[in-house]
Homo-oligomer: A and B are copies of this chain.
């Protein structure tokens, strides 16, 4: 395993061919934006490349694949984008985990095993890395590429709202707008559109909200039964994690989501420098200072109790 520079990464990409680009499981705007942008960029250089979407492409991101078709070739070079740990490869782990040639990521906690590794935790979105990389490859940023990169940057920063946003983030957004990116359409899809099912899910989730630690911790949950009652899919579940932290006075917002495998997927969002990553590492998870996650096995009350107890120690 070798840490390389982005310039070296660009040379590796230009030297090789027949790429598989891997996203992380439960793919979000950043991992998908990276993968489609890089795929379009490689193809513009006459290479063959496919995006291996980890699970289904969420319907709201279908615009990313508008100019995409699956190509037929034998894979020779594997790139992972925005994947912080082997376990996040999910179902792709068996086929790809020990075959990754280049790992590109922005998670400081990255534990991937790859021939070549580039991690820059100063980037708000992995798409910022891909933007620099694509330019280093001498690729012209088309509207498709700009849309993909803007998707990752805007979704990972909550539309330039979160604390991870930097001057560089804004400068890249400016460049993408000048490359004709459809930021208005993308923002409406990602920030201003709610399905009725999502609205119902939010109302149900609001009813589960409880406050602890003198109002500094807010916790919400969803169960499989709730999801089934509403016919809610992954799209409806997305974004719920941002709800509890928004309440005035809350320093740590915790969202628990029951999964089919008997675990709860836990998302932790914090304010005022409370370390969400350290908190989640207690439960074998990780992520960023203000946004992290983990999985805990157990029933609703047990998992909730464990989380509240840990929150009381931190807050």
The answer to the question of A15 belonging to the interface, with a C-beta cut-off of 8 Å to chain B, is no
Chain B residues lying within 8 Å of A191, measured Cβ to Cβ, are 161
Q: Mark contacts of A142-185 with chain B using CB atoms, 8 A cut-off: 1 yes-contact digit, 0 otherwise.
A: 00000000000000001111110111111101110110000110
Residues of chain B contacted by A206 (CB below 8 angstroms): 199, 202-203
Q: Decide: A195 near B160, CB < 8 A? Known: A165-B183, A174-B168, A188-B271.
A: no
Give the CA-CA distance A177 to B163 in the complex, in Å: 11
Q: Which residues of B contact A194 (CB under 8 A)?
A: 246-248
> Within 8 Å of chain B (Cβ to Cβ): is A140?
no
Are A166's CB and B177's CB within 8 A?
A: yes
**Complex interface bits, A232-257 against B, C-beta within 8 A gives 1, otherwise 0:** 00000000000001111000000000
> Which A204-232 residues sit within 8 Å CB-CB of chain B?
206, 209
- Shortest A128–chain B CB gap in Å is 13
Interface of A is mostly: helix
CA distance A168 to B178 in the complex (A): 10
CB pair B184 A174 closer than 8 Å: no
Asked if A62 is an interface residue, CB under 8 A from chain B, the answer is: no
- Which residues of B lie under 8 Å from residue A67 when comparing CB positions? none
> How far apart are the CA atoms of A271 and B191 in the complex, in Å?
14
In the complex, A258 Cα to B160 Cα: how many Å? 34
- Sorting the interface of chain A by its residue count into under 10, 10 to 19, 20 to 34 or 35 or more gives 35 or more
Q: Check A193 for interface membership: any CB of B closer than 8 A.
A: yes
Contact partner of A159 (CB less than 8 A), chosen from B160, B163, B166, B171, is B160
Residue A95 interfacial (CB < 8 Å): no
Establish whether residues A167 and B159, one from each chain, have CB atoms under 8 Å apart when the complex forms: no
Does A187 sit at the interface, judged by CB under 8 A?
A: yes
Given the complex of chains A and B, what is the CA–CA distance between A183 and B199 in angstroms?
Answer: 29
A192 at interface by CB-CB < 8 Å: yes
Which residues of chain B are within 8 angstroms of A173 by Cβ–Cβ distance?
A: 160, 167, 170
Interface flag for A196 (CB, 8 Å): yes
Residues in chain B near residue A178, CB distance under 8 A: 167
Name the distance in Å between A61's Cβ and chain B's nearest Cβ: 15
Report Cα–Cα, A161/B188, bound state, in Å: 8
Given the known interface contacts A188-B271, A194-B246, the answer about A175 and B167 at a Cβ–Cβ threshold of 8 Å is yes
Residue on B nearest A164 in the bound complex, by CB? B184
Would you call B196 and A247 a contact (CB within 8 A)?
yes
A193, B248: Cβ atoms under 8 Å? yes
Offer 7 A-B interface pairs, CB within 8 angstroms, sorted by A.
Answer: A158-B159, A160-B173, A161-B191, A171-B171, A174-B174, A194-B246, A196-B248
Known: A161-B191, A199-B206. 16 other contacts (CB 8 A): A159-B161, A160-B160, A160-B170, A162-B184, A163-B184, A166-B177, A167-B173, A167-B174, A169-B174, A170-B170, A170-B174, A171-B171, A192-B246, A194-B246, A195-B248, A203-B206
